[in-house]
Amino acid sequence: MSSIVSAALAVWQFVVGDDWVTAIGVVVALGLTALIAAAGGAAWWVMPPAVIALLALSLRRAAR
């Protein structure tokens, strides 16, 4: 069991690294895109500003 947990932690660390807030932000932005697209709206515009904002916020946290 502990090896499964440590493997999962290693995968998490490898993919997400030390900035889990950005990872959550990506999931939220993709979810919002899916919701708008499912409602029949144009959803392409969600991701570009979301990505730029996530990068800026991540840099601000790192530089503080």
Partner 1 sequence: MTGTDLGLAIAVFLACAVEAIEALTIVLAVGVTRSWSSAFYGVGAAVGVLAILVAALGPALTSLPINALRVLIGGLLLVFGLQWLRKAVLRAAGLKALHDEAAMFAAESAAARAAGSRVREGIDGYSFAIAFKGVLLEGLEVAFIVLTFGANQHRVGLAAVAAAAAVAVVVAAGVAARAPLARVPENAMKFSVGVMLTSFGTFWGAEGAGASWPGGDAALLVIVPGVLLAGLAMVRWLRRAPSRTASVSEAL
Residues that bind partner 1 (CB under 8 A): 14-19, 22-23, 26-27, 30-31, 33-34, 36-38, 42-44, 46-48, 51-52, 54-56, 58-59, 62-64
Residue (9 or 59) nearer to partner 1, CB: 59
Burial class of residue 40 in the structure, from the number of CB atoms within 10 Å of its CB (0-12 exposed, 13-18 middle, 19+ buried): exposed
Residue (6 or 31) nearer to partner 1, CB: 31
Residue (7 or 34) nearer to partner 1, CB: 34
